[in-house]
Amino acid sequence: MVLRRRCGVRTLLRNGRILDPSQDLDEIGSVLIENDQVIQVGVVEDLTGIDEVYDCTGLWITPGLVDMHVHLREPGDEHKETIITGTQAAAAGGYTTICCMPNTNPPLDNPAIIDFILDRAASPEAGGVFVAPVGALTKDLKGEELSNLAAMKRAGIVAASDEGFPIQDSQVMSRAMVFCNQIGLPILAHSDDTSLSKGGCMNEGAVSAMLGLKGIPRTAEEIATMRNCLLSLHTGCPVHIMRVSTWGAVEIIRLIKSLGAPVTCEICPMHFIFTEDDIGEFDTKFKMQPPLRTKVDIELLQQGLQDGTIDCIASDHSPHASHEVDVPFDEAPFGASTIEATLGATLTYLTHKGILSPLDTIRKLSTVPAEILNLDGGTLKPEELPVAQITVIDPNVEWTFDRNKSFSKSKNTPFHRMKLKGKAMLTFSGSEIYRDAMFPAERYAIYI
């Protein structure tokens, strides 16, 4: 349910557990929104003129979630997803800001196409979440000449990335870092040595040996992670390593952080939940890039989340059409539709298992990604938000993810039929942009 509401109302989110990592806030209280902005957080005494009240008893009131890694597929692959369906899915997943990746067709490598993305995202049919585009590092994502990054920054990109087509030439990557550092643009690095991963379709290991599938060795990710980290260390450019999947990559990032490099990294839920064994009998829903690894990796990735080596959690929402995935395993594309399940999966597999505290969960899903990319959001501090960006979460609601009820065009997801505990109930970007069908009607009152 995506609702578009008028502005100017005085809205009270009452009696929830306010979790705001930006100010280490974890307390029961209320949040007042007026003219689309947060006015007060905590104790709200002036209740005059309230237009609407959401009873948030037992729920979390958090900064709107921020997803650094989303594929919206538009332009070029609108049969997989569009900016409209992707942003609607994001709102339903509890997100108020998402970063869309540049490997579209054509790629996001010039200011005109950035304008197009921002226009589409602001259209009334879109989900109402902020879309922060990520520009292609090199023209046409060929890994050769740098894109017009400064012009794209003026147009609105928040980072640059070679997502989907990792730059293999270290000289090109080094120069990209030097230039991006100069113009103040962080780099999101897809770390893959394609000379090692070429032709592979799953983790190289015991399961690939059994199924007779060509494997992708962990060294493909680790060598490229090390290179990108070393280049960050020596150029000073902030580099964010996307979707780590091996314990070795975590160790490399831990080392490079200790040396003072401005490196951050993310993990995607598939890599802290599933292993290569989940591929079963060639199930393409579990074909990921990087591939699903092993139980040992999951254990050490979770440690990396706990000790802060892994900074944040991103969905890597990579939608594909059904006909594209209903093919032999080695022919299927990598990735799956994940944005609506990421919060529930994180709460189920990390928070409820005691691996992350509630405050750390929100920190990794909202505050840190906003900080890494210097985005508005990730906080409930009124002065830091041009408009209120808030997610109300029921951490204990039990539900089953059903791809057929998803807003995403893609129904290809490993979370289909998965039982999850925890879900976004309300998403506010200024005003309400999403209210879940499971949010009880009696908890909402209008006084107009």
Partner 1 sequence: MSSNPTGTRNLIGIRNLDKESIVHLIDQAADFKKRVTAGDDVPKMTKTVIGLLFFENSTRTRVSFEQAAFYLGMRSSNFATTSSSMNKGETLKDTILTLRHERINGLVMRHKSSGSPILAAKHFGGPVLNAGDGQHEHPTQALADALTIMERKGSIEGLNVSIVGDVEHSRVARSNLWLLDKLGANVRLVGPRTLLPPQPSNLPGEFCDELEEGIHGADVIISLRLQRERMNEGMISSIGEYSSLYQINAETLRYANPGCLVMHPGPINRGVEIDDVTADGEYSAINQQVENGVFVRMSAFYWCFGGGAA
- Beta carbons of 231 and 237 less than 8 angstroms apart: yes
Task: Choose, from 297, 311, 316, 394, the residue flagged as catalytic.
Answer: 316
Q: What would the two tokens of residue 53 be?
A: 């009240």
- Kindly identify the residues of this chain, within the stretch 421-440, that bind partner 1 according to CB under 8 A: none
Stretch that binds partner 1, among 55-63, 212-220, 368-376, 420-428 (CB under 8 A): 212-220
User: Whole-number minimum distance, CB 169 to partner 1, in Å?
Assistant: 21
Total residues contacting partner 1 (rule CB under 8 A)? Answer: 21
- Strand (E) or helix (H) holding 29: strand 25-34
User: Whole-number minimum distance, CB 208 to partner 1, in Å?
Assistant: 8
Beta-carbon contacts of residue 281 (< 8 Å; ≥ 6 apart): none
User: Whole-number minimum distance, CB 104 to partner 1, in Å?
Assistant: 23
Q: Annotated catalytic, 316?
A: yes
Using the rule CB under 8 A, is 195 a contact of partner 1?
no
Stretch that binds partner 1, among 10-18, 28-36, 131-139, 211-219 (CB under 8 A): 211-219
Q: How many CA atoms lie within 13 A of 22 on its CB side?
A: 22
Using the rule CB under 8 A, is 378 a contact of partner 1?
no
Which residue of 4, 214, 234, 417 would you call a contact of partner 1, by CB under 8 A?
Answer: 214
- Strand (E) or helix (H) holding 342: helix 342-346
Using the rule CB under 8 A, is 326 a contact of partner 1?
yes
Check residue 333 and report its DSSP letter: P
Stretch that binds partner 1, among 25-33, 163-171, 200-208, 421-429 (CB under 8 A): 200-208
Specify the amino acid at residue 219.
T
- Beta carbons of 414 and 285 less than 8 angstroms apart: yes
User: Whole-number minimum distance, CB 369 to partner 1, in Å?
Assistant: 35
Specify the amino acid at residue 384.
E
DSSP E strand boundaries for 251-290: 263-267
Stretch that binds partner 1, among 144-152, 181-189, 206-214, 415-423 (CB under 8 A): 206-214
Using the rule CB under 8 A, is 6 a contact of partner 1?
no
Using the rule CB under 8 A, is 49 a contact of partner 1?
no
Using the rule CB under 8 A, is 70 a contact of partner 1?
no
Please tell me the distance from the alpha carbon of residue 30 to that of residue 15, in angstroms, as a whole number. 5
Using the rule CB under 8 A, is 209 a contact of partner 1?
yes
Q: Can you spell out the DSSP letters for 170-191?
A: HHHHHHHHHHHHHHT--EEE--
Which residue of 148, 230, 329, 376 would you call a contact of partner 1, by CB under 8 A?
Answer: 329
User: Whole-number minimum distance, CB 279 to partner 1, in Å?
Assistant: 9
- Beta carbons of 412 and 18 less than 8 angstroms apart: no
CB closer to partner 1, 213 vs 313: 213
Please tell me the distance from the alpha carbon of residue 141 to that of residue 424, in angstroms, as a whole number. 35
Please tell me the distance from the alpha carbon of residue 25 to that of residue 40, in angstroms, as a whole number. 14
Which residue of 107, 205, 238, 344 would you call a contact of partner 1, by CB under 8 A?
Answer: 205
- Beta carbons of 342 and 269 less than 8 angstroms apart: yes
Q: What would the two tokens of residue 226 be?
A: 């090390």
Residues 307, 310, 315, 320: what is their CA dihedral angle, to the nearest 10 degrees?
-130
Using the rule CB under 8 A, is 204 a contact of partner 1?
yes
Neighbouring-strand partners of residue 388: none
Which residue of 43, 112, 124, 212 would you call a contact of partner 1, by CB under 8 A?
Answer: 212
User: Whole-number minimum distance, CB 218 to partner 1, in Å?
Assistant: 11
Residue with tokens 């490079």: 256
Q: Can you spell out the DSSP letters for 361-407?
A: HHIIIIIHHHHHTT-S-S---GGG-SS-EEEEEEEEEEEE--GGG-S
Check residue 147 and report its DSSP letter: P
- Kindly identify the residues of this chain, within the stretch 271-300, that bind partner 1 according to CB under 8 A: 281-282
Which residue of 6, 49, 171, 323 would you call a contact of partner 1, by CB under 8 A?
Answer: 323
Beta-carbon contacts of residue 320 (< 8 Å; ≥ 6 apart): 80, 332, 333, 335, 336, 337, 410, 412
Which residue of 3, 296, 327, 438 would you call a contact of partner 1, by CB under 8 A?
Answer: 327
CB closer to partner 1, 80 vs 240: 80
Which residue of 27, 331, 398, 402 would you call a contact of partner 1, by CB under 8 A?
Answer: 331
CB closer to partner 1, 299 vs 331: 331
Task: Tell me which residues touch partner 1 (CB under 8 A).
Answer: 204-207, 209-215, 217, 281-282, 323, 326-331
Q: Which residues are catalytically annotated?
A: 316
